[in-house]
Structure formats: structure tokens, C-alpha cells
Amino acid sequence: MSEFAFFRFVSAKMLTPEEEQNKQEIISLTEQVLDARGLECDARIAKVSEEELKKILEEVRRLRLVKKKKKISNEKIEDESEQRDEVMYTN
């Protein structure tokens, strides 16, 4: 289902090269967005207008950004924790 949406994004030249390289991530996030919108089959996705497809992609990008920010935040917390542990062990 979401793979078909991905190919619609590609054929409409909506994706950045980086997004095209991260196909599985885009497909996974697209599936989440489509599920939330109640679009569950290729036939429905095929009938979605290009404007609606753009809105779906905007939601995918928003989810992806949130996911990246969480990852960066978690990495910073882990780094700070490791630095704190190093300070405690060296003192």
C-alpha cells in the first residue's frame, strides 16, 4: 500500500534525492499517515489527487523531522550522561 504511494511520490518528482535513498523510512512513515487518514488500499491511493498527495508527503516529512529531533535529543542525553559518568570516575 504505502510502497505504491512512494512510487507516486517518485513519479510526481516530489521527493528529494535523500528521501528517495531512504525509501524504507519514507514508506514506513507514509503507511502511518495513510492509516491515520483511513487510506488502506492501492485503489484509493491511485485516486488521490496530486494536491492531496502533496499534503500526505508534508505529513510524512513532519513525522520524519520529529523522529530525527527525538533521535538527536536522545543522543545528546546519552552523551551528557556518558560525560557525567566519566567525570565521576576520574574524580
Render pLDDT for 49-86 as a digit per residue (tens, 0 to 9): 999 999 999 999 999 999 888 888 777 777 777 666 66
* CA neighbor of 32 nearest in space, from 67, 66, 59, 72: 59
Q: Are 22 and 16 in contact (CB under 8 A)?
A: no
Q: How far apart are CA 16 and CA 79, in angstroms?
A: 31
Q: How far apart are CA 82 and CA 79, in angstroms?
A: 5
Percent of the chain beyond pLDDT 70? 85
pLDDT of residue 90 exceeding 70: no
pLDDT of residue 10 exceeding 70: yes
Of 8-22, 30-44, 58-72, the least confident: 30-44
